């Protein structure tokens, strides 16, 4: 089996920019997950202030058309990356990128951090 090079996954909000803390650009990869998971919980008032760690938000994201297919495609893509740090972004880094980072991290045994989960 191929050695997985991704050592950590960071969910983030694209609207806050990709602020790097001294990471070497050769060591990072960035994936915008919005095209894969266009369903945005932000537009549901009941979910807006919850996060991708909340079960209600996770269930909503799972309603995305072909959810399992897109998740598996992303997992396969991540397995083939040649970087140590993977940034997964959605609009604000509160919902989709958080949940998808959790799922990919669990699937690959990689630690996950949520950079913008508490930003307003």
Is 120 inside any structural domain? no
Is 119 inside any structural domain? no
Q: Within the chain, which residues score under 50 in pLDDT?
A: 1
Concatenate the DSSP letters of all residues of 59-79 into one string: HHHHTSTTHHHHHHHHHHHHH
What local confidence, expressed as pLDDT, does residue 27 receive? 86
User: How many percent of the chain have pLDDT more than 70?
Assistant: 90
- Ranges assigned E (strand) in 14-105: 28-32, 85-90
What local confidence, expressed as pLDDT, does residue 33 receive? 96
CA distance 112 to 100: 10
What local confidence, expressed as pLDDT, does residue 3 receive? 62
What local confidence, expressed as pLDDT, does residue 22 receive? 61
What local confidence, expressed as pLDDT, does residue 24 receive? 59
Is 82 inside any structural domain? yes
What local confidence, expressed as pLDDT, does residue 18 receive? 82
Q: Residue 63's domain spans which residues?
A: 8-114
């Amino acid at each position: 089996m191929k050695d997985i090079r991704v050592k950590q996954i960071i969910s983030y909000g694209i609207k806050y920019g990709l602020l790097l803390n001294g990471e070497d650009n050769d060591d990072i990869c960035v994936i915008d997950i919005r095209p894969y998971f266009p369903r945005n919980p932000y537009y549901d008032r009941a979910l807006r202030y919850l996060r991708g760690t909340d079960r209600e938000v996770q269930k909503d994201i799972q309603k995305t058309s072909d959810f399992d297919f897109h998740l598996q495609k992303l997992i396969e893509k991540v397995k083939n990356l040649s970087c140590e740090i993977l940034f997964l972004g959605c609009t604000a880094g509160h919902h989709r990128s958080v949940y998808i980072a959790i799922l990919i991290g669990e699937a690959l045994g990689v630690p996950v951090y949520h950079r913008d989960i508490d930003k307003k």
